[in-house]
């Protein structure tokens, strides 16, 4: 009788549990079915066949393992392929977007090309006009060249005239030098005379002031102004006042400020009034101020100016 368990034990290491059990069961069934009908030689041949079947089963299992491994590899490759396909799809999308932009750019370039061709036509026309102008200028240059020759000849003539002019200028320079020397002498004489005139003017001015100090009290009294004390020459701040004094008018204290000149002008009148106003604003003279003007001569327009201002003025001939 065949031992199916022993067969199972031998097959398990190579085939595994389930295949070994199946083969042992089949062998047992075959053995039972054939035990009555087959000889031992037939049985031995059957055992050989079973062994070959077991070996074939083993190879089949190995191939199945290889196929399973290959399937796994193919599955991984499929994943990578799908990922790559997705990447290619994205790249294709970007490519299509770039193609759209390139198509738009091509259209723009086509329009720009049209404008360029139009501009080239315009430039060709301008070039034609430029060549016409160049021809005209070439002719003009030839004319200028001829004129240049005449100019050079004229320059030679002017150079000769320049030499004569320089010679004449040297002569004039010598004459100028002699004239300047004479002017220096005359300037010294004029400065001397100017100093004498200033001395004389100061002398005349001081003479008028000195006479005014004596004569003004009585003349002012005729105007209702009673001088208190002496009239004097005085500096107030940086300004020299030719006539300064205190007086009373209508029982009120007043200050007399006067300007003396040989010949008075409107400009000097206005200047003295500005000085008086400044002294009053700075508080250097307080109270009511009586302004008077004294001169040897009052031109008609100056006298009219003083009358318009209702200013007091006195002629030097009034100082008896």
In tens, the pLDDT along 139-155 reads: 886 887 788 889 788 86
Instruction: Give the confidence band of 1 by pLDDT, cuts at 50, 70, 90.
Output: low
pLDDT at residue 200, rounded to an integer: 36
- Give me the pLDDT at residue 140, please: 86
Report CA 113 to chain centroid distance, whole Å. 38
pTM: 0.39
- Delineate the domains of the chain, giving CATH numbers in brackets: 223-318 (3.40.1350.10)
For CA atoms 41, 42, 44, 45, the dihedral sign is: positive
pLDDT surpassing 80 at residue 250: yes
Average pLDDT over every residue of 278-286: 95
Q: Alpha carbon of 111 to those of 102, 103, 107, 115, 116: distances in Å?
A: 14, 12, 6, 6, 9
Kindly report, residue by residue over 218-236, the tens digit of the pLDDT.
999 999 999 999 999 999 9
Task: Enumerate residues 6+ apart whose C-beta is below 8 A from 213.
Answer: 230, 231, 232, 243
- pLDDT exceeds cutoff 90 at 217: yes
Determine which helix (DSSP H) or strand (DSSP E) holds 34, and give its type and residue range: helix 17-34
Q: Cβ(268)–Cβ(261) under 8 Å?
A: yes
User: What's the pLDDT band for 299 if we cut at 50, 70, 90?
Assistant: very high
Instruction: Please tell me the predicted confidence (pLDDT) of residue 291.
Output: 96
- Please determine, for residue 278, whether its predicted confidence score (pLDDT) is greater than 80: yes
The percentage of the chain sitting over the pLDDT mark of 70, rounded to a whole number, equals 87
Q: What is the pLDDT of residue 187?
A: 40
- Please tell me whether residue 298 adopts helix, strand or coil conformation: coil
| pLDDT value at residue 145 | 77
Assign 185 a pLDDT band (cuts: 50, 70, 90).
low
Is residue 168 scored above 80 in pLDDT? Answer: yes
């Amino acid at each position: 009788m065949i031992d199916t368990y022993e067969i199972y034990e031998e097959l398990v290491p190579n085939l595994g549990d389930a295949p070994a059990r199946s083969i042992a069961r089949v062998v047992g069934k075959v053995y039972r079915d054939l035990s009555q009908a087959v000889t031992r030689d037939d049985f031995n041949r059957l055992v050989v066949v079973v062994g070959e079947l077991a070996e074939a089963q083993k190879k089949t299992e190995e191939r199945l393992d290889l196929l399973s491994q290959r399937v796994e590899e193919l599955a991984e490759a499929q994943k990578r392929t799908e990922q790559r396909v997705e990447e290619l799809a994205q790249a294709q999308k970007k490519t299509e977007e770039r193609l759209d932009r390139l198509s738009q750019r091509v259209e723009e370039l086509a329009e720009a090309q049209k404008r360029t061709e139009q501009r080239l036509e315009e430039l060709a026309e301008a070039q034609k006009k430029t060549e016409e102008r160049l021809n005209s200028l070439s002719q003009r240059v030839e004319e200028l060249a001829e004129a240049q020759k005449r100019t050079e000849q004229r320059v030679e003539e002017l150079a000769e005239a320049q030499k004569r002019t320089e010679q004449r200028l040297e002569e004039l320079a010598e004459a100028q030098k002699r004239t300047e020397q004479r002017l220096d002498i005359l300037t010294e004489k004029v400065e001397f005379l100017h100093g004498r005139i200033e001395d004389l003017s100061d002398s005349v001015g001081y003479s008028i002031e000195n006479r005014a100090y004596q004569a003004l009290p009585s003349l002012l009294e005729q105007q209702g102004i009673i001088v208190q004390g002496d009239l004097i020459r005085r500096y107030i701040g940086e300004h020299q006042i030719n006539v300064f004094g205190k007086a009373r008018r209508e029982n009120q204290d007043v200050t007399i400020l006067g300007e003396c000149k040989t010949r008075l002008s409107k400009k000097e009148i206005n200047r003295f009034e500005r000085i008086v106003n400044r002294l009053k604003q700075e508080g250097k003279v307080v109270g009511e101020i009586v302004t008077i003007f004294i001169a040897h001569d009052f031109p008609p327009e100056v006298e009219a100016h003083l009358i318009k201002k209702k200013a007091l003025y006195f002629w030097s001939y009034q100082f008896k």
